[in-house]
Structure formats: structure tokens, C-alpha cells
A and B are shown apart, each in its own frame.
Chain A
Amino acid sequence: MSYRPTSVAIVRMLVVAGAFVTLEILCRTSVINRITMIPPTEMVSALLQIVLSGKFNADIAFTIVNTAAAIALSVAGGFLVGAVLHAFPRFRQAAEPLLAAYYAVPVFVFYPLLIVAFGVGRAALIVMGALVGVVAMIVNTLSGLDRVSSVLMKTADVLRMNRFRKLILIRLPAAGPYLITGIKLAVAYSVIGIVAGEFILATAGMGKRIAFGYQDFDNRTMYGMLLLLLLLVMAINGALALWEKRLHSRFGQQ
């Protein structure tokens, strides 16, 4: 029933290209004025200028390192909390509504408190990113561990595996695809936490450069940096989504 993949891809490319060309024309003909948005081609040239001149390299590295640390914390912490909650179903049932409503509160309103606790700098931003990312990992760890089929667990019992071996050899691989989903979301949310923190108060970082560009009417820096940030996030997301799809087709959906 599926259409030829090449024709789908061609139409998709045309749609995306059409959107960019339309935006370019709207900007060039001043339907959208320059103070609001610069033409996409100028965004790209601003992006290239930022990357080639290297003048913001320190900011870019600052954000990337912090985000990586926050992701590591939220993935490890989220997995641990998720596994513990899964082991205590009663506790988990009570906690689930809290987890479900967590993302409705903009967690980074607590960022100033983190600054009081950790000072302005990396630590506050990393903790911020981890706090935003961790719950996505908890939720997906829970749903991953839920979906380990009972046949697999019975096999483990027949083979007289102990709890630890069960966890490493059976549960983890079987829950794998859902854990990747958790990691994917933790990445997206950690980025939100860190960039939001940088918007509010930071010594460096891509978010800070975007906010500065906005305040100074420096639209080239603002849009160039914004585009770079979005491309980085999309690249990571795309790679993880691909990995997720492969794991799902290998393990899941029996």
C-alpha cells in the first residue's frame, strides 16, 4: 500500500524547499521586516560566519559540555529512580500522577534558587538541565520495564538467574527501545532547561548569545546562533530517532 519512497522523499524536499523560498521572498520584499526576521539565506551566512570566525567557540563549547553533563545525570538518575519505583508498585501508583503533571510546571522558575545554592556558573545550569530531563527518563524506564514480556521473565526463572543477572541480561535489553525513547526525550528536555537557564542568567553559552543578540537588535548573531542551536538539536534527535527505530524493529512490537 505504501508509495514509492523516492517520490515521497522528492515531494517532501520540495515542500521544505518551498517553505524556505516563500520565507526568503517574504523577507526580501519586506512583507516581514528586517527587525523581525532576516532572510533565511542571511541566517545561513550568519551561521557560517559564527562557525568560521570562531568568536563564539567558547560559548558553544560551554553549552555543549553542560548539556552533555546534564543528559548524563538525567539518564543515569532517571533510570535508577525508574528501576526503584518499578520495584515498589504501591509507591509507584501513588507517585504516577505527580510524574504525569511534572512537565506542566516550568521547572526553570527554580533556576534562581539553584544560583543561590550553586552560584552563577556551570553547576547551576547542569543541575537545571538534569532536573528538567530526569522525569522523562523515569517515565520511559517505567514503561520499558512494564513491557518486558512475561515469557522472557519465566525463561529467566527457568534458567535460575539471580536478580542482578535478570536485570542485566533480560530486563535491560528487552526494555532497550523504551530506554532510548527516554534518552531522546531527556536530551530534548535537558537542552530546554539549559538554554532557558542561559536566557535568564549565565556567564556564557549559546542561549546567552541569543538573548544578547535580541537585546542589542543584533539579528545576525541572534538568528545565526538560533539556527546553529536548532541544527545541533535536530541532528542529535535525528540520530537517536534512527537508533530507536532500529531497536524497535529488532526487539519490540511482537
Chain B
Amino acid sequence: MSARRFDVLLLFAALLIVWHIVHVVVGPDVIPSPLNTISRAVVLLQSEDFWKDAANTGKAFGLACAIAIIAGGIIGSFLGFSRFAAEVANPIVGTIYSIPKITLYPIILLAFGLSLSAKVAFGVIHGIFPVIISTMSALTNVAAIHRRTSRVLRMSRTATITAILVPAALPEIFSGIRIGVAVTLLGTLLAELFASSSGVGFALIRAMEIHDVVDIFAHALLIFIFAAAINGSLHYIERKIYRHG
């Protein structure tokens, strides 16, 4: 336990040292020093502007997550309850999932303009497919013995769904939600980079345009910490669900 924590600390120390060496080698125009970056990040965390940006991003991210999870869950269950529908839909959904959605940003811009809805839409097209795919596959993969049990017990359709199918499918659905939330964050930030006038992504592109290298790194660092925290906590919940199932 403590040995593991020690390893993590060691890795971070090593990363900071490597970062600093690279900074010295390639120069401050390309990579700022870790110390500079961290102190700028601390300054950002104390500034009002940053929190305004963060609130903007958070609003879009939250909305996009809600839509991706709810709509993805509904579409996924609709397709997953019928094996035939699942077989028809599987390669179609898989293909759409695999296309690089960043190429679609001009279409989103044309359709929604520079608005909150553009950010939400871009987040949703990133996040909804992992949720659909996992829900669909979780429901079609529910063991036949579970289905038969519900028939032997003469359970009603609603009882079968709430007492058998959902609990059996939940762990896999949650894996999809975890991936969906991560890519929704990415999608929301991408939309802010290319198609918006507010939010953390926009602050990032502004830093990029005036070539404020320290600002770019400080924002990226904060985003990374936020993403790692979300990812870590969702992993933690997922492990708990699996232990129950």
C-alpha cells in the first residue's frame, strides 16, 4: 500500500525532472519549466476569469453528459431488447463510433453557430456511442439462465426488467458510461477550441493564438488533473459495482 504510493511519488518526481530537462534542452519558447507552469496554474485557480470559464465548460459538459447517458441508455436498451435490432444496428453504430468526430466540427458550427448548443452537441456525438454500444451489448449478453429463471418464476415484464435485466447488465453499462463521460469531456473541450467564444477550451485557444506557452501548459495541466480525477472516481465506482454483481 505505502510502497505503491511511494512508486507513484517516484514516477511524478521522475516526470518533473524529465520535463525540466526537456525544458532546458528545447528552450522556454516550446516548453516552460514545471515550476513556472505549476505557479501559473495556482494563479489561474485564484482568478475569477478561470472560474467563469470553468463554469461555462462545466455547464456544457454536464448537459452533454446527461443527454449522452440518458439518450444513449434509451437507444441502447431499445436496440438491446431485440436481438434482431441489435444485430442490424451493431456495425452501423460501430462505424459511426469509429469515425474521427473532429472532422464533423464544421457541420456542427454551421448547424448551431457559436453557442452553448454547439458545445453540447459536440460533446453528445462523442459520448453517446460508447453508452449505446455498451447498453446494447450488456442487454444482449445477459446469461440465458437469468432469462429462464425469470420465466420459471413467472415474473411480469416490468419485474423481469427491473429485477433481472438491469442488475445483470449494470456493470457493463457503467463501463460504457465511464468511457462516454471521458470522451464527452474531450468533445466539449474540442468544441470550445474550434467553435466557441467561452470556456476553458476557448481560454486555451486564446493562449495558443497569442503564444503564451506557460498559459497553454497551465490550462492543459488543470484539464488533465480534472480528467484524471473524474476517470479515477468513475473507475472506483465501477469496481464497486462489479464486486456487487
Contact = CB atoms under 8 A, between A and B. Distances in A.
Interface of A: 1-3, 8, 11-12, 15-16, 35-37, 90-91, 93-95, 97-98, 100-101, 103-106, 109-110, 112-113, 116-117, 188, 191-192, 195-196, 199, 207, 210-211, 213-214, 222, 226, 229-230, 233-234, 237-238, 241
Secondary structure at chain A's binding surface: helix, strand, loop or mixed? helix
B92 interface: yes
B220 A109 contact: yes
Contacts of B227: 101, 104-105
Contacts of B216: 109-110, 112-113
Given A104-B186, A195-B103, A12 B11 contact: no
Contacts of B100: 188, 191-192, 195, 233
A112 B205 CA distance: 10
Given A93-B7, A94-B10, A12 B211 contact: no
B18 interface: no
Contacts of A98: 11, 228
A12 B232 CA distance: 38
B237 interface: no
A230 B204 CA distance: 28
Contact of A37 (B107, B183, B224): B107
B7 A214 contact: no
A101 B208 CA distance: 22
Contacts of A195: 100, 102-103
A105 B220 contact: yes
Interface in B190-227: 190, 193-194, 201, 204-205, 208, 211, 213, 216, 219-220, 223-224, 227
Interface residues of B, number: 55
Given A109-B219, A112-B208, 4 more contacts: A8-B84, A113-B216, A199-B102, A211-B106
Nearest to A114: B30
Contact of A199 (B7, B95, B194, B204): B194
Contact of A117 (B26, B94, B201, B219): B26
Contact of A104 (B26, B88, B185, B211): B185
Nearest to B7: A94
A2 to B, nearest CB: 7
A97 B189 contact: no
A101 B92 contact: no
Nearest to A90: B7
B220 A36 contact: no
Secondary structure at chain B's binding surface: helix, strand, loop or mixed? helix
A1 B83 CA distance: 9
A231 B224 CA distance: 32
B31 A113 contact: yes
B91 interface: yes
Nearest to B112: A36
B106 A101 contact: no
Interface in B72-129: 83-84, 87-89, 91-92, 94-95, 98-100, 102-107, 109-111
A106 B186 contact: yes
B152 to A, nearest CB: 19
B8 interface: yes
A106 B223 CA distance: 9
Contacts of A100: 228, 231, 235
Contact of A112 (B8, B91, B211): B211
B102 to A, nearest CB: 5
B14 to A, nearest CB: 9
B148 interface: no
Contacts of A101: 224, 227-228, 231-232
B4 interface: yes
B102 A117 contact: no
B29 interface: yes
A234 B99 contact: yes
B173 interface: no
B220 A8 contact: no
A113 B204 CA distance: 13
Contact of B103 (A93, A112, A230): A230
Nearest to A13: B88
B41 interface: no
Given A2-B87, A93-B7, A233-B99, A214 B186 contact: no
A202 to B, nearest CB: 14
A91 B105 CA distance: 38
